Structure 1
Amino acid sequence: MAESLASVGLSAINQENRTLRDLVEIYRHLSGLALQDADIGTVAELIARRTAVTVAVISQKMGILAAASPGESYEHSVQYVHDHLIHPRLAHTLAMAGKTRRASRLPDPARGGAMIVAPILVGDTVPAYLVSLVPDSPGRDDDIHLMTAEHAATICGVILARERVITSAGSQVRDDLIEGLLSGSGRDNDEVVRWAHHLGFDAERNHRVLSVLIEAPPGDGERSRLVAERAAGATARLFVAQSPDAITTVRGREVIVVLNEPGAPATGIQSEQLGALCVQRLGALFPDVGVSIGIGGVFREPAHIARSYEEARRTNEAIRRLGRRGAVVAFDNLGISRLLLQVPDPEALREFATDILGEVLKHEQEHHSKYVTTLKCYFQENNSLRRASERLHVHPNTITYRVRRVEEITGLDLENYRDRLAAQVALEILETLGETGL
């Protein structure tokens, strides 16, 4: 009897020693993965193979980041985890494990075994969880599975932290390259071409630079800042979603987009359409946020990115200064406004336009006349009475009468080059300032 008890005790000790050796071996392999260029999928595969359990790495939103089952393909493992593990009750289980920051074992009646949940820590956050589905089997030792899962979760945390650092470093390098292109700080053209190549720039296609300026909503400073930051991030994602080849960067409340521009080089149609879509979407998502978009000139050579950006930035700053909230303006379409928008004081422009056409504007307000519209159409049709009358659907004599009335009201002689030029510039100022229905 004593010999039998001794034999049983010796067998138990031997079994415990084998288990400990296996545990040490698993720990050694896991620690080795942390030193290698391994991912969390490799950790899941190792645990599944060495412990004969199904293992999954689940994100906070219950997305399956990795899955492995002994002897099964990755696709089969993911499907199994999705079918048998992902359900609303799991969210509560993960949340509890996240609060305790410790691995826990829960009964799993559906499969007659246990479910072990180990939070994966990256700094002070819990971005994911390692979950082991342990089947019911003779001699099952949940403590071993618990310790294995806990150590595997630690290794997953090391891997995710490393990936974050690499991603952050890669993002910083990318931002530095974009900043170099936008500032034109390359030492030579070859260096600029290399920078652009690393960012995926295609020199065989037309491009434009868009400057999107976000105006924070009024109110509390911190809240306004956060809303503006969210709007800027949403803007960058919108352009990438609509044009995957776009190169984007966010500078505080400015989003800069290097956008492929298919079609005729001088049209800028896609840029303006995407700009209008951006204004519309942001208006729906962030109704209190103001936005304006300046579009630089077309280019193909990477060395011209800085020029196009400067055009976009100047255009955008000018239209915002003039109070054109929500405007999408292409530099190519500014015409004489390129010069007008550079005047530091908009009031000086307004005074000039008022001196030239102020009496006509006053007359229109009082009598609902069409003098300003007629005058602009007359100029646009190169002083052709016939073409202007066709556009406005009136008799040519009506055009003649309205033009003569403008001369009477203002004292201008529109047959005189200088008076005609002054009237045309005044009309451009009024349109630029957005103070007429032109």
Structure 2
Amino acid sequence: MADADHLVSDGLLRLLELLAMEAPPQRFDGLTEQARVAGASTEAVAVLDRAAGLALDIHGLFARRQQREAGLSALVDTARELTLPYDVDALLRVIARRARLLLGFDMAWVSLTDRADGRSYVVSADGHASSITVGFAVPSIGGVGNAAAIRSAPFWTPDYLADMRFEHDSAIDEVVREEGLHALMAVPLKEGHSVVGALYVADRGVRHFTPDEITLMSSLGDLAALAIKKARLLTQAHDEISELERDTSRALGSSSAARRLNRFHSRLIDLVLHGCELEELVAHAAAELGSPLMVRDAVGSTLTVTEGFPEVDESELFQRTLDVHAERAPIRSSGGLWLCPAIAGKEILGTLVLAPGPRPAADRVRLLEAAAQSTAVLLRMQASAAAAEGAGRDELLRELLGDSPRAPEQLALRARRLGVALDEPHVVLVVRPEDGPQGRVLVWASSYVHRHAGLKTTADDCLVLVLPGTDPSTAARHASDTLNAVIGHPVTVGAAGPVAHPGAIHRTYAEARRCLDALTALGGTGGTASLRELGFLGLLLADTPDTSAFIANTIGPVLEYDERQTTELTRTLEAYFTSGGSPSRAAESLHVHPNTVSRRLERITDLLGPGWQEPLQAVEVQLALRLRRTRHTVRNHTGPPVLPHDELP
């Protein structure tokens, strides 16, 4: 009995020593067997066996406590790491990595609910092989994640595919199968009472999670949710701070730009008030804008342009000018030009065209608008001065149009004071706008004659313009096109001249008026005409018919060819018309072969153009031939011309 007691006491002491040494569990099993071999009683062996079991329980308790302490220590380290200032993406990567390493899992990932569409997406993954990748859309039904969200608590399974306690989804099952996963746990990430995502951990083997592990992962989930919320708030704060900084920078830049704009506008207005010319104003504006600048009037004529302005496509520039007038705001062309209207009230006085330059677009547009406003002020002042001067021009022209203008020399002197040299060639235009605002027509006329050093007035609902020049037809077309662009309606113009004496303006005006009336009677509304363009009608309407000019304009090329080549084209023309337009009969009267007449007629077509046999032009050709024959007969006093019997009318 004493030996048995001794064996029991030695065994118990040995168990205590093993516990103190934290020996592995397998060393506790040999003591009971040793006591049985030594002959200890059954009661002594039972005591030792019971003591060994208790020792193993104590050893397991110590191991669990150590594991819990290690987990808590790792959780504290994780919490410390999560407090660092990460952006959201970096923080999510840290959470996934820490979750995988915390309890030695094979894989971990994080999903968050997208606020836009309400679906959950994988936003970070660690330890994955292929299937679970960032951007994977988590199905809204099935899986441990949805089960955890429904319960608002961690949910786990030791073997996912074999566990039927929850609803499965084929997409999730396929991912689990491809990744070779078995044990899965999902911890909901909560903000208040709302679930905003889930933290997943998984093993590729079957694993039963202990309560301590579940509690530890739940704590990690809470920390992760708080860290994600903090990171989002921090990111939002950074974004708001950055936006405030940008707003502050923009405000400072805007304030600086506003001061620069005000200084620029003030300088330009000061120049205008001091009576500068348009060229000086535009030069100052171009220097501030840092690019060449062009100014055009309301109808597209260039008023001034600074040095270095690039070549432009006139057709495109014209189209963009129409656009800017319609928009009444700056626009940019495809070539980089900026166009801005110069507006006074509701009237567009012109257009500023700015070449491409180094300044930012916003600064250039604001400065260009200021330059356009200053230019509009200057153009309006010039228009007002021209209007005041125009009253004197109107009165002078009305006197010149009188039946018997008094003292033409005095009128010429008054004209020179207005910058008009009436002793030099001028043309007279009678302009009738068919429609359109009359006020705009008068403003255009004042500006037009001011630029061309001419005179204007109104008579019988028509404008009368006296302009320097020798070609009334060209002057009429230019005036018609320019005014048409301003009012957008047809303009009919009769023209006459040139005239180089004040006393002859009345007669020239009467001829231009007759051209306008003839053009209207012929249905030519919206066209232009001079005596020369009216042909024989012009000859009839002229106060002093110029038969020489009519003959030269009608058959001059044929006469010159006969004189140079000693041919008989003129005589062939006469024979052709007297024979009723028959080449064979004309050949008989000329005693030549019909082929000769045909060749001569082809030559005449080359000289006069293909339309000389048209009815109206044919009449003019015949009239010119008759006038030439009559003048030749009268000058030689030889009596009536002798014609062959078949040429008699």
TM-score band by shorter chain is 0.3 to 0.5
TM-score, normalised relative to structure 1:
0.38
TM-score, normalised relative to structure 2:
0.27
**Greater gyration radius:** 2
Q: Which has the higher contact order (CA 8 A, sep 6+)?
A: 1
